[in-house]
Amino acid sequence: MIYSPKSKPDGTIRDWLNYHAEKSPDRICYQFSDNSSDLTWSGLLKKVISISKFLIQLDIKKGESVAICMSNGSNALQIFYAIIYGGFRVTPLNLAAGPAALGHAISHSKCNYILYDDEQSEILSNALEETNANPTTINVKNNTFENIKNNIQFHDLTPDDHALLMYTSGTTGVPKGVIHTHSSLLAGGWTTSVAHELDPNDRALCVLPLYHINGLCVTVMAPLISGGSSVICPKFSSSKFWQDCEKYTITWFSVVPTIISHLLHGKNDPSKIVCKNLRFGRSASAPLAIDTQSNFENRFGVPIIETMGLTETAAQILSNPLPPKQRKIGSPGIAFGNDVKILKDDGSDQLVNIIGEIAVKGPNIMLEYLDNIEATQSTFINGGWLLTGDLGYMDDDGYVFVSGRLKELIIKGGENISPREIDDALYAHKDVIEAAAFAIPCDIYGQRIEAAIRLSINSIASEDEFIELCRSKLGKFKAPDRIYFLDELPKGPSGKIQRIKLLEITN
């Protein structure tokens, strides 16, 4: 189990846990900001084996889904690894998805067991009311995973066996179940390690939920590959973020644009020691506004590496290189560990500097959508290329610039308008913390543009001011007709703003 930037990792997740426990038994691999005990590789493996044996005793079939309904923490991490180690398919339930979506995941995954903690008992109870499934629920607080038989036999594992079933956010329809194998999940941690040049001395700060592909692959799987470590926080806290970076000697963090914006508009600054230790911050899950990135770097002195990934690709497909190599602000970068190209409408390869759909191919690509042959077939084309559903173009240097989601494209009077253009114009205002443009039906143009924003406290900026700002940057045709001021914009589990819900909220 040797990490090499030149080749994807071999073996299974079980193999990699065994390897680290043997090679570096006393090295700390995961810490927790809630003051739970640190985990070394040998300590983690001991707990994982114990929980795995408990699950095997339940006569769960190899590859069967075992669900987790838990927030970030030591128990969630141990159980995540234990399910996979035992030869089962871990199915993290999205705690922010709502009862109906959770009920769908429980029934669709056909899980017979759900492990949960006290804090999520109500969420789980409400989800179970939305499904006819009747899985056994196990409260991890009341279970020590002891009284294990001596003759427990582990299932044999191969890299092609199922490891993860994670459901998409379902913002444009019913959530789809994405299946990753041991091989593709390890490759997801590998692409992150390669792009960011991670080594055993690096320590990540994880403030994103482990039931989202970003939190899971980037800050959990990457240290498994690189031999580094992560500090896992229950959730993002603007008041504790820089404190945790200093307390745990963090060298990098992975967040989303809304978190970067909240830190930028917050009162707290990192200490000199934090800035010295931090090699970079990482942004993913949604496009990062150019002004937000520039202002963050100017204020805090921490370089932000914009990236791009999907649930279907075990997180990262694109990343900007680390300084002093060239970063292009406004782009999520170039391919690391996989291949990326731009396609025309007919599926043929696109020329450079022309907008088309972004497609990706590589070892980190999902196996399939669970029990959804039609969706799987429509997502894969031409020998394994996966259609991302994102529009963008590639410049002469291979850097990709994302225009927006294909399904979020605004078509006004026959002209395609990317919502991101309007977002970026709004983020140029110093008082804007969150912003998102969206389409509403229109009898004249087919669709017209509106936007919602969240302003910093005590801002006196007006609707007319923002409309005029957009007109000055984009012209009258692309400027929104109306601006809504909200206390908070609706978001998915990673913190990504959900445009489709804005139409419901504002109309």
Centre a 10 Å sphere on the Cβ of residue 69 and count the other Cβ atoms it contains. Answer: 27
Q: What is the mean pLDDT of residues 400-415?
A: 88
pLDDT of 27 higher than 70: yes
pLDDT tens digits for 313-326?
999 999 999 999 99
pLDDT tens readout for residues 449-503: 999 999 999 999 999 999 999 999 999 999 999 999 999 999 887 788 988 889 8
How many degrees, rounded to 5, is the angle at CA 254 between CA 274 and CA 454? 95
Percent of the chain with pLDDT over 90: 84
Q: Is the pLDDT of residue 179 over 90?
A: yes
Residue 160 CB neighbour total at 10 angstroms: 12
**Model pLDDT, residue 98:** 86
In this prediction, residues 148-160 reach a mean pLDDT of: 91
Q: Which residue has the tokens 């789980």?
A: 124
List pLDDT tens digits, range 36-66.
999 999 999 999 999 999 999 999 999 999 9
Q: Model confidence over 344-396: pLDDT tens digits?
A: 877 788 879 999 999 999 999 999 999 999 999 999 988 899 999 999 999 99
- Classify each residue of 401-419 as buried b or exposed e, where b means 16 or more C-beta atoms within 10 Å of its C-beta: bbbbbeebebebeeeebbb
In Å, how far are 313, 316, 488 from 308, measured between CA atoms?
A: 10, 6, 24
Tell whether the model's pLDDT for residue 81 goes beyond 70: yes
The number of angstroms, rounded, from the C-alpha of 498 to the middle of its chain's C-alpha atoms is 14
Residue 324, preceding peptide bond in cis (omega within 30° of 0): yes
Range name among 202-206, 218-222, 278-282, 496-500 with the lowest pLDDT average: 496-500
Which two structure tokens, joined as six digits, stand for 84? Answer: 């996979």
The pLDDT, as a whole number, for residue 363 is: 97
- Judged against a pLDDT cut of 80, whether residue 159 lies above it is answered with yes
pLDDT at residue 145 in the model: 82
pLDDT of res. 204 = 98
Q: Residue 75 burial by CB count (10 A; 0-12/13-18/19+): exposed, middle or buried? A: buried
| Model pLDDT, residue 87 | 98
Write out the DSSP string of 65-133: EEEEE--SSHHHHHHHHHHHHTT-EEEE--TTS-HHHHHHHHHHHT-SEEEE-GGGHHHHHHHHTT-S-
pLDDT tens-place string over residues 260-309: 999 999 999 999 999 999 999 999 988 899 999 999 999 999 999 999 99
CATH 3.30.300.30 fits 410-506, yes or no: yes
**Dist. CA 164–CA 220, nearest whole Å:** 14
Predicted local distance difference test score (pLDDT) of residue 76: 97
Structural domain spans, the chain: 13-181, 410-506
Q: What angle do CA 220, 226, 228 make, to 5 degrees?
A: 65
Residues with Cβ within 8 Å of residue 61, at least 6 apart in sequence: none
Mean pLDDT across the chain, nearest whole number? 94
Is residue 170 scored above 80 in pLDDT?
A: no
pLDDT recorded at residue 172:
56
DSSP 8-state code for residue 351: P
Structure confidence at residue 173 (pLDDT): 66
Residue type, 132: N
Is CATH 3.40.980.10 the classification given to domain 13-181?
Answer: no
Tell whether the torsion through CA atoms of 51, 254, 328 and 385 is positive or negative. positive
Q: What is the mean pLDDT of the segment spanning 221-230?
A: 97
